[in-house]
Amino acid sequence: MNPNEPEMARPVLAVLFLCALIAASVWILRPFLPALIWATMVVIATWPLLLRVQQRLGNRRAPAVIAMTLLVLLVLVVPLSLAIATLVDNADRIVEWGKDLTEFKLPLLPAWVSDLPLVGARAEEAWAQLAAVGTAELTAKAAPYAGNLTKWFVSEVGNFGLVFVQFLLTVALSAILYASGESFAAGVRRFGHRLGGARGESAVVLAGQAIRAVALGVGITAFVQSILGGIGLAIAGLPFVPVLTALMFMCCIAQLGPGLVLAPAVFWLYWSDSSGWGTFLLVWAIFVGTMDNFLRPLLIRQGADLPLLLILAGVIGGMLAFGLVGIFVGPVVLAVAYTLLEAWINELPTETGVEED
């Protein structure tokens, strides 16, 4: 072998060893990765709030970390516990409602529905066919699907202990990140600088801004809509308000809006001869369902100067690709890719060879 020729075995083995080491590390940390990702998102999104709390407490980090940890604990654990407890306490009532559904008689369709242009006659015909079939036959047809839904729900409730542990782990990791956030952020920025120089470091900063923008625009908007929707449901006297509020929050996070919960509630109030409360909830639902059109863009602009369509596409696409954590991962990936591509396109070479006018 020519001694001047480069040795290929050593760098190849070194790369393989590093890949194996990284894979083994990820495999070992895999049970903790969801909680670590969520804790990182929570801390980045609420870091300005931590600094404000720390300033109010005499610039002492320890009391501020305790206060923020308790806040995260209340936001994550308490709503889930209330929703599960409400379902468990009303399990017998839910079963009784399911039995009564087979004996339920569809009421007559209001006369004004049949007088509607274009759709009135079709709606009357479809309602007459549904009434002729009867709820018992519909229940029999829907039984397999209801069985699958029941099995899924039982499995999810059965995993409540695991979810609870993951939430507690998220809270614990959030406390650690709150306590040493500056050192962790400096390490990540140095890592980005080692990968791509100044551009890599700016990409890390942009990722943090995208996370904060999503937390402000999507998270706070969903929280406000679900809380206001839950208040409307409670005032109207509907049952299972904590569960419906939690479901509304998930629908708002998924960009489906609170209407999927509020619209059936309005329908149920009207058919229960509570037209007054139904009208109130209808007006309230229109207000709550449309407030995201002005609240979400305003909050997103507070976090990062990125196109609104890019953020929304990242939220929806990330959730479909990676699950719930993709709500934050999707916008971060798209924001970094968009910014790097824009910087590369706008970067002019030093010698173009073309004289500018």
Residue 19: predicted pLDDT: 92
The structure tokens 């308790």 sit at 70
SS3 86: helix
pLDDT tens string, the chain, 357 residues long: the values are: 555 555 677 888 888 998 999 899 989 988 888 888 878 888 888 888 899 999 998 888 889 999 999 988 887 666 656 655 665 565 556 555 555 555 555 555 555 556 666 666 666 666 666 655 555 555 555 555 444 555 555 554 555 566 667 778 888 888 999 988 888 888 888 988 888 787 778 878 877 777 777 777 777 888 889 899 989 989 988 877 877 887 788 778 767 788 888 888 888 887 777 778 888 888 999 999 888 888 887 877 776 666 777 777 887 788 787 776 677 677 777 877 877 777 777 766 654 444 444
Residue 132 corresponds to which tokens in the numbers above?
A: 């002729």
pLDDT at residue 110, rounded to an integer: 59
User: Any idea of the CA torsion for 331, 336, 338, 343, to the nearest 10 degrees?
Assistant: 160
pLDDT of residue 20: 93
pTM given for the model: 0.64
- Position 231 scores a pLDDT of 92
Query: DSSP readout, 115-152?
Result: TSTTTHHHHHHHHHHHHHH-HHHHHHHHHHHHHHHHHH
Yes or no: say if 253 and 226 are a contact pair by the CB < 8 Å rule. Answer: no
pLDDT for 207 equals 77
